[in-house]
Amino acid sequence: MPDLYFTPGPTALYFTAEEHIKTALKTGVVNTSHRGQQFKDIYKACADNLKLLMEIPDSFHVLITSSANEAWERIIQNCVRSDSYHISNGPFASRIEKIASQLQKNTHNLKVQDGKVPSLEEIKVPEAAEIITICLNESGTGAAFPLQLIEELRNKYPDKLMAIDGVSALPVVPVDFNSIDTIYFSVQKAFGLPAGLGIWIVNDRCVEKAQKLAAEGVMIGSYHQLPEMVEKAAEYQTLETPNILGIFTLAKVAEDMLTKGILAIRREIDYKAAILNIAVEEHPQMEHFVKEANVRSKTVSVIKTDFENTQLIKYLKEKHIHIGTGYGKYKPEHIRIANFPTHSKEQMEMLVDLITAYRG
């Protein structure tokens, strides 16, 4: 059996990705100039397909970065003059607050217990804060930020920019783009591509903010200043030579997802999450780290085991199935299982059967 990756990322490639990479190698995609028409067509297809797939309004721009890390940096540089507000309910959610501190912004940090999501009342955004940052799918702990709460925050704080970390959530989680200003993801999670590419989606409020900061003399970066990126993107161009192979493969995988249908993909994710959840609940030696079912991630399950997790990981590996360890301090006590569009129902059923029968 070929190896099966349920790791939270890098993970299994989307089942069509390998063929698209081979096509790229055969058809000159990797040789073409990033200033030529062939590249423009690739970038346009990528942006168009992503917009269709996630119902992204035309008022948003689809930009190319190297990683979600870069998107964190560019958002803070371009959208924050002095004050930022961060909802930090896990290691990944917290990372953008660290970046804002490193960029010498005045950060306001709501530290939330791991595995939890704050209530609307707990979220008190100070007047000075220009942006609210939220992690949609905290893959370190398995907590999913409720879409309803994003909408409520938008209504409560209409003047603040809403910046959403969509890594390991997009395109599965149906984000309402009217409630947000910017969102980003890296491709090695739910899109199932080789790592080394990030997508940064921004609206004009973000661009105008960056222009305003630049006019005031605030430093907004160098070769990846937001206004210049947007200007180039309007002609399907980038400022540097980008990961053309990655952009091509993403365009093709998004097209394949459109052909399958995003609703079908989301239904399958629901089914796979449901059978995994039941298996965990019925297992005498396992429990969900996130107690409240309504804020539990469907795409990355974080499970506490009352036995040595390395035993189970090794047992599955012998059967060519790879799952993740816990993240950071939870490394020895959690396992993490990804449920991405590339994972078939049959694959998840097989994994669930093995976990159900396993005793530590």
Q: Which residues bind a second copy (CB under 8 A)?
A: 3, 5, 7, 9-13, 18, 21-22, 25, 28, 30-34, 66-70, 72-73, 76, 95, 98-99, 102-104, 186, 188, 194-197, 219, 221-225, 239-246, 322, 324
Minimum CB distance to a second copy, residue 241 (Å)? 4
For a second copy, give the closer residue by CB, 33 or 285: 33
Which 8-state DSSP code applies to residue 347?
A: H
Across 233-318, where does the E strand assignment appear?
Answer: 286-288, 300-305
In this structure, what token pair is assigned to residue 103?
């960029």
Task: Tell me the backbone φ, ψ of residue 187, rounded to 5 degrees.
Answer: -85, -10
Q: What separation in angstroms does the CA of 78 have from each of 82, 102, 210, 220?
A: 11, 14, 5, 5
Integer Rg of the chain from CA: 20
Name, in order, each residue with C-beta under 8 angstroms of 135's C-beta and a sequence gap of 6 or more: 87, 89, 90, 92, 93, 145, 164, 165, 167
What is the three-class DSSP state of 48? helix
For a second copy, give the closer residue by CB, 228 or 287: 228
Minimum CB distance to a second copy, residue 86 (Å)? 14
For a second copy, give the closer residue by CB, 283 or 336: 336
For a second copy, give the closer residue by CB, 166 or 246: 246
Minimum CB distance to a second copy, residue 157 (Å)? 25
Minimum CB distance to a second copy, residue 336 (Å)? 11
Minimum CB distance to a second copy, residue 211 (Å)? 14
In this structure, what token pair is assigned to residue 280?
């965990």
For a second copy, give the closer residue by CB, 56 or 351: 351
State which H helix or E strand residue 255 sits in: helix 244-260
